[in-house]
Amino acid sequence: MSSEQFTIGLLGHGTVGAAFAGLLEQRAPHVQRLTGREPLLAGTLTRSGGSFEEILEGSEVVVELLGGIEPARDYVLRAMRAGRHVITANKQLLSQHGEELFAAASEHGVQLRFEAAVAGVVPVVRVLSESLAGAHIERIHGIVNGTTNFILSEMERGSTYAEALAEAQLQGYAEADPSEDVSGKDAAAKMAILARLAFGTPVRLDQVPYEGIEHLQGDDLQYARELGLGLKLIGTAERRDGGLSVRVHPAFLYAGHPLASVHGPFNAVTVESSAITEITMSGPGAGGVQTASAVLGDLISVMRPPAALTAPLHPLELVHDVSSSYYLHMEVADRPGVLAEVARVLGEQGASIKSVVQRGLGENARLVMVIHPLPQSRLHAAIERIGELDFLRSAPRAIRVIEEEFT
């Protein structure tokens, strides 16, 4: 393993900047295994300290997490002119000065990466610019603002707009001044960036018409349910009349639309093209560590020599006797004590019952239950014992149940 270092200059130490510095420290050994170089934070520009010139001098890549237009624009341009790769999460900057930045990257032969600027950790920038680089894309639909999606999910559950906004602020999903989010402007900036990637057409934020969610009423959501539709704030970029339409507005989605099941503070993007039909990607839209993860993915791409696509080995032991929740299906004689006997056999193997449905069928009954997690070997032992019980009318069946774990 080479002990060579790769130096990183960090501009900004707010929520995302601090999360990135922490994640980088935590994952540095892994990044070194992947790339052969040790990533090293060479300097950080904060509100109160640090010199941009010194940071630039000592860094191979500049990570811009300041947000806003100036001085971010000036720093990013100066970094690229000095031959540094740049990673940024700055949607304002890209949606208002994108062409200037792309031209500078091209002119100076450096990489400009910005996965974290759109849809948080959802890898839509990479998928559009690499996996789908060859596709003739027809349309992108996106839920690209988690704040408004959270508010609409709350309104679907009966809250008023004001109540839902207050809840979003309480949970940290909305700012004290939520106007950038609820007006649709934040989503418009992200759609301008996606449209540039997908359609090779420069689109500035001020060219994207947007409507927000402030004017929506609770009964619009009720009627949506009656009509079998979901209501979301949707960003669209699509070919229309031989040109390109980019816009943001609330829209009803038919129930089967891939974005209709995206609830809470999540982001999701659907890309349509005749050759791929459609691809949908979803994930958390914001959060310091999630955004920092997107920046780390870009950093590794900048550091990695092109050909090393496959990660080196760092093997784990293969484990086989895994615990799961199970659904159990039994046909039994309909007589007293059957459930107690089944429960006793399960209990011998350490299994406990979560829920039961029993249904009479004349002389027999169907007994269906879900049991709490149990190693596979013990489940098999229990099934075998149950199968030997004299009241069993057919072989018991077991199917694993996957429960919610991230909540």
C-alpha 126/C-alpha 230 separation (Å) is 28
H/E stretch holding 248: strand 243-254
Q: Does 37 bind a second copy (CB under 8 A)?
A: no
Q: Does 330 bind a second copy (CB under 8 A)?
A: no
41 to 100, contacts with a second copy by CB under 8 A?
none
Q: Does 400 bind a second copy (CB under 8 A)?
A: yes
Spell out the residues 6+ positions from residue 344 whose beta carbon is closer than 8 angstroms to its own. Answer: none
For a second copy, the binding residue among 220, 344, 348, 377 (CB under 8 A) is 220
Binding mask 111-150 for a second copy (x = CB under 8 A): xxx-x-----xxx--xx-xxxxxxxx----x---------
Q: Does 38 bind a second copy (CB under 8 A)?
A: no
Helix (H, G, I), strand (E, B) or coil at 115: helix
For a second copy, the binding residue among 49, 109, 336, 362 (CB under 8 A) is 109
Q: Does 287 bind a second copy (CB under 8 A)?
A: yes
For a second copy, the binding residue among 3, 314, 337, 390 (CB under 8 A) is 314
Place of tokens 């791929």: 276
C-alpha 102/C-alpha 217 separation (Å) is 41
In this chain, which stretch among 62-70, 155-163, 178-186, 256-264 interacts with a second copy, using CB under 8 A?
Answer: 256-264
In this chain, which stretch among 23-31, 43-51, 52-60, 160-168 interacts with a second copy, using CB under 8 A?
Answer: 23-31
From the CB of 332, what's the least distance to a second copy, in Å?
A: 14
- DSSP per position, 128-179: IIIITTTS---EEEEE--HHHHHHHHHHHTT--HHHHHHHHHHTTSS-SS-H
258 to 277, contacts with a second copy by CB under 8 A?
258, 261, 263, 272-273, 275-277
C-alpha 198/C-alpha 201 separation (Å) is 8
Contacts of residues 368-373 at CB distance under 8 Å and 24 or more positions apart, as own/partner, are 368/327, 368/328, 368/329, 368/330, 369/327, 369/328, 370/325, 370/326, 370/327, 370/328, 370/401, 371/325, 371/326, 371/328, 371/346, 372/325, 373/323, 373/324, 373/325
Q: Is 232 a catalytic residue?
A: no
Burial of residue 289 (number of CB atoms within 10 Å: 0-12, 13-18, 19+) = middle
For a second copy, the binding residue among 279, 343, 353, 381 (CB under 8 A) is 279
Quote the crossing angle between the two packed helices 146-156 and 161-170, to the nearest 10°: 130
Spell out the residues 6+ positions from residue 166 whose beta carbon is closer than 8 angstroms to its own. Answer: none
C-alpha 45/C-alpha 21 separation (Å) is 12
From the CB of 275, what's the least distance to a second copy, in Å?
A: 5
Q: Which is nearer to a second copy, 176 or 402 (CB)?
A: 402
Q: What are the tokens at 233?
A: 């704030």
From the CB of 371, what's the least distance to a second copy, in Å?
A: 12
For a second copy, the binding residue among 317, 363, 388, 390 (CB under 8 A) is 317
For a second copy, the binding residue among 41, 50, 78, 102 (CB under 8 A) is 102
Spell out the residues 6+ positions from residue 260 whose beta carbon is closer than 8 angstroms to its own. Answer: 229, 230, 232, 253, 254
From the CB of 351, what's the least distance to a second copy, in Å?
A: 16
Q: Does 104 bind a second copy (CB under 8 A)?
A: no
- Residue among 91, 185, 190, 232 flagged as catalytic: 190
* Amino acid letter for position 179: S
Q: Which is nearer to a second copy, 53 or 321 (CB)?
A: 321
340 to 379, contacts with a second copy by CB under 8 A?
355, 357, 366, 368, 370
Q: Does 393 bind a second copy (CB under 8 A)?
A: no
For a second copy, the binding residue among 8, 11, 23, 77 (CB under 8 A) is 23
**Residues that contact a second copy, how many (by CB under 8 A):** 125
User: Which residues are the active-site residues?
Assistant: 190
